[in-house]
Amino acid sequence: MVLKAFTCIFFCISVIGSSAVLAQVAPGAASSPQVLNLMPGQTYQGTVRVRNLNDEPLTAVLSQRDVLFDANGRTAAALGTNSRSNAAWLETILGNITLEAEEIRDIPFTVSVPENVVAGSYWSHIVITNDPVAQADLPVEGTEGAAVGFQTVTRYGMLIVTNVATASVGDVQFVNPDLRQEGTVVLSVDIANTSDAAQLAEVYVDLLDEAGTNVARVEFSRVALMPNVNDYLNGFTFNLGRLEPGRYVATIVADTGGSEGVFGVRYNLDINPFEDASEDTSGEDSSD
């Protein structure tokens, strides 16, 4: 007897890191996130790109999901869950889609903003759900002939944001810095977008040692900084690798475009030998 269990992996961006994930239909480059600046009554036609990462045909399912933002981050939810959903305005191809080996395909979508909508940001996911991938059956202790079989389902959410009659220029603030030494040095920070609209950004950290030499750079390209809805903060974690003990300067930048759209913060980091890990982000020197 074999009992089947499912585990689910959800990616908001396409990060490919294992052979199991490679046998999937996934978003193409720059498919997500998309931030559209529209007015009430306006219509936009665009595409999201999907690609077959395998060398044989694959079938996946396209669907729509709402997206919730809370203290735990971004979560996919059933349609109708989020009052800020734009899913009802968004029409695209739904259901099964079959891609030939290594095929890349553009999926059209249309966003039609209602005439009477209140100004603000609205968002939802176009979701790719892949077929389950069977894992090894594990025997059940204390039974004869019984086993539990695991199947992994991989989903990719492509975020579509609609800013309706809003100004996307606003202040970006860096809060809640945290430094951890866990075999490698991990720096995290929350970014608060205080404008009333989502903003596309390039977010990165540059790390200099005491001699001014750049020893690390970690980048997040094309991310959506969601507005501060329900006090939501955009969390970023930078793995800086294994560093020699000493003092470093980390400069975190959020570039939302334009001469007035570059925001930054600077932290002094004291890195101790790994057997005596500690934290010091008290030497903050913030600048825009």
Q: Please report, as a single letter, which amino acid is at residue 168.
A: S
Q: Which of 134, 164, 194 is the last residue of a domain?
A: 164
Same domain, 140 and 193: no
Same domain, 24 and 121: yes
Question: Minimal CA–CA distance to 229: which of 269, 198, 260, 205?
Answer: 198
Same domain, 38 and 141: yes
Same domain, 180 and 139: no
Q: Tokens 């709402």 — which residue?
A: 66
Same domain, 134 and 188: no
Contacts of 17 (CB under 8 A, 6+ apart): none
Same domain, 26 and 150: yes
Domain that holds residue 48: 2-164
Task: Please report, in angstroms and rounded to a whole number, the separation of the first and last CA atoms in the chain.
Answer: 62
Same domain, 118 and 189: no
Q: Which of 129, 164, 199 is the last residue of a domain?
A: 164
- Give the per-residue pLDDT at 196: 84
Contacts of 144 (CB under 8 A, 6+ apart): none
Count of beta carbons in the 10 Å neighbourhood of residue 219: 12
- Give the per-residue pLDDT at 194: 86
CATH number at residue 251: 2.60.40.10
How many domains is the chain partitioned into structurally? 2
Q: Tokens 């603000």 — which residue?
A: 120
Q: How much is the pTM? A: 0.78
Mean pLDDT, 10 residues at a time, the chain of 288 residues: 41 38 76 90 95 92 88 76 92 95 95 94 92 63 61 85 80 91 91 89 94 93 83 89 93 84 92 62 49
- Give the per-residue pLDDT at 1: 35
Q: Tokens 């889609």 — which residue?
A: 97
